[in-house]
Structure formats: structure tokens, C-alpha cells
Copies of this chain bind each other. A is one copy, B any other.
Amino acid sequence: MKVLVPKKSLAETLARVERIVPSRSSNPGLSLLRIDVDEDGMELSGSNMDVDIRARFAVDSPGSASCAVVGHVFSQVVRALPSEDVAIDLGDGEMEISSGTFATRLQLMAPTAAPVLTFPTEHQGALDAGKLERALSAVKYAASVADFQAVFRGVKLELADGRTRSVATDGFRLAYYDLPESSGLAADIIVPARSVEELLRVLGDGEVKLGLEPGQLSVQHGNYALNLKLMDGTFPDYERVIPKRFPVSITLPAAGLAEAVTRAALMADKTTNNRVDLFIKDGEVRITAEGSFGRSQETIPVMQEGTDSEIGVAYNSKYLVDALSRASGDVRLSFSFSGTEAAPSVVTDLSDPSYLAMVVPLKTS
């Protein structure tokens, strides 16, 4: 059975599906991509156990067929095809792909050799895809990458009536983003940050449909359907640790502060957690860092509110820069204290009040 496929659709779709389907796996079935064709479309599907993906696009086909191929081999061949016109001939145990002067025959596996995936056809919830994209991409940097940190490696989604919030924290910094929108779902769920990454790659314009089943968030958007396995465990009660009272706060362009901190931190050592110190006084912030090669300082003007006496706070420069880099325009950086000790600082984006980031200072005594 010969199917005519536009190379562009096939290659673009495969580029996303290929990211999920592992090229090596101790379970050889996982490296297979399932292909289902019917009269008006081709479906590609695969899974890495954490994320199932299915993508559909239009083809010119005389009938229906199903098969499985080794995903990364099929992808490599498709990328290299010389012509925009591609014919895929699904035969007995072999697929012939021809394009221009080139032809290749790939071994086929039975479709049942690939993971058996089911995607819901009905979804209870929905959100604007662009807004969900913003909420997830604004916070995922704050999730942990350390294997032992369990739920800290996920992004929590609080799906409530009239409010959708994304939150991530690794215990040293935290970020949340509030959408004043109902998703139609009511639950608190934790999605692995890596799966969030894959979801972000398929989100474009329009609506994203959301469905919840035990242990799984199902997403349908455009030509893509994804099942994201959820994380077990309890997310920390983070609201409790976000300070509410700030004796001092400063307002300045986020980019300017991030660049100055990055520059100063070149002198900081890894052994001191990339420590930079911020000193606030008389409408200026002085940023200093030192290490075995020397020391740096930079002073920039700020709008200062609160007490007049000089304050000093030390941070892991990377955490402060991460928190700032998600803001555009001006930010307010607010300092809290517990007695004379610096307590967590809070970054708010003046042009987007949905975003809040918290950074825990370094202990200096």
C-alpha cells in the first residue's frame, strides 16, 4: 500500500515525536515508533514511559495499515530525503521509502511490538495554550535536577476554580505563576519537569484540552496528544515560607541587575556557592564578589523603599540570575530578615504581576 506524504509535515512531526521515543532502551519495544495510516491521515506514536505522544497529519493514502519501525532510524532517513515528495510503501515486513533518486527499505515490526498507548477522546478541561506555556516556562527553572529530590523535580499545577498556578522549588529558590483562569479541572498535580519540557515543545496557538485520570494528565493540542505521568508525593507547603514583610525593597531593570550579578560572579568560587553580596544604601546597590583570582564590584542606581540603614545579603549568583531572567522590564527585589539574619528575598515582575520568585540567601555566619 503506497502512501504519499509531504516531507515537511513528516519531518516536523517526527522531530517532536523523536524526542520522546528513546533511541536506546533496555526495553527494545520502547525504541519503536508506531505508524497508523488511514484514508486521510498518518499517526505516529511512541512513549518513554513518562510521556506518551501521538501526532497526526494529512497524507494521501488508499487505505489503512499499521506497523512499527525503529524510531531513530526512520527519523534519520526522513531528514535526509532529497525531495519534498515522499512515497511510503508499506509491504510485508518491509517499508520502502522513496523520494527523488533515492529509495530505502526499512524492516518493519508488528504494530503490537510498540508500546500499547491509549489517549482519551474526551477532555474535561481546557486552557489557552499560550497562557499555559507562559505559566510553565516561567517556573520550571526552579525545579531540582538532583535525582534524590523527588517531588522537587516536578512542577506543581494547582488547578482551581478561577485560578491556575504553576509552582516549582528545589528548596533553595521557588517560582510561581498565577493565571486568573479556570481550567475546568480541580486538582493539585505534580508533573515531572522533564515532561513539562516536552509539553512546552508542542504548545502553540489556540486551545489546549486537558484531562485527568488517576496518575496521568492528558493533553490534546493541535495535531498532538500527550499523556504525562504524574509524580506521587506531597509538595511542600511553600506559601508558609514566602515572607510577607519587607523592611527594604529596590526597583530596577531586571536585565541590568542580572548582567551586573553575572559579571561580578566571575570572581566567585564554586566552593562558596558562587557567592555574590548585595549592599543597599542611599539609592544604590553595590554588588561584590571575591575568590582566589581576585575581587569585583559594581554599583548601580536603584529606586529604594524602606529603611535607610545599609543592608547586605549574600546569594548564590546563579539562583538570583535565574529568578531575574524570567522577568522583563523592571523588577522589585524585596529583602526580608529574621532578626539580623537575611531571610528569603522575593522578586516580582512589575510588568507581569502573575510571576513571583523567591531566593533563599546564603548563610554567611
Residues of A that sit less than 8 Å from B by CB: 70, 73, 76-77, 80-82, 94, 101-107, 259-260, 262-264, 266-267, 293-300
User: Are A106's CB and B70's CB within 8 A?
Assistant: no
> Which B residues touch A295, using CB under 8 A?
104-105
Q: Which residues of the partner chain B approach A267 to less than 8 Å between Cβ atoms?
A: 77, 104
Contact A80 B266 (CB under 8 A): yes
Closest B residue to A259 by CB, please name it.
Answer: B82
Q: CA A102 – CA B296 in complex, angstroms?
A: 8
Copy tally for this chain in the complex stands at 2
Which residue, of A104, A107, A297, A298, has the highest number of chain B Cβ atoms within 10 A?
A104
Beyond A80-B266, A103-B297, A107-B293, 20 additional pairs, beta carbon < 8 A:
A70-B293, A73-B266, A73-B294, A77-B266, A80-B263, A81-B263, A82-B259, A82-B263, A101-B260, A101-B298, A102-B260, A102-B263, A103-B296, A104-B264, A104-B296, A104-B297, A105-B294, A105-B295, A106-B293, A106-B294
Which residue of the partner chain, among B73, B104, B262, contacts A80 with CB atoms under 8 Å? Answer: B262
The CA of A93 and the CA of B16, in the complex, are separated in Å by 55
The residue in chain B whose Cβ has the minimal distance to the Cβ of A284 is: B101
Q: Are A293 and B73 in contact (CB under 8 A)?
A: yes
Tell which of B77, B294, B299 touches A104, judged by Cβ atoms closer than 8 Å.
B294
Most chain B beta-carbon neighbours within 10 Å: one of A107, A259, A294: A294
Q: Is A103's CB under 8 angstroms from B298's CB?
A: yes
Within the complex, what minimum Cβ distance (angstroms) separates A211 from chain B? 36
Instruction: Provide the bound-state CA to CA distance between A295 and B259, in Å.
Output: 53
Task: Determine the chain B residues whose CB is within 8 A of the CB of A102 once the complex forms.
Answer: 260, 263-264, 296-298
Closest 10 CB pairs of A and B: A104-B296, A106-B294, A102-B298, A80-B263, A73-B293, A105-B294, A76-B266, A101-B298, A107-B294, A105-B295
Q: Tell me the bound Cα distance from A73 to B262 in angstroms.
A: 14
Offer 25 A-B interface pairs, CB within 8 angstroms, sorted by A: A73-B266, A77-B266, A77-B296, A80-B262, A80-B263, A80-B266, A81-B263, A82-B259, A82-B260, A82-B263, A82-B298, A101-B299, A101-B300, A102-B260, A102-B263, A102-B264, A102-B297, A103-B296, A103-B297, A103-B298, A104-B264, A104-B296, A106-B293, A107-B293, A107-B294
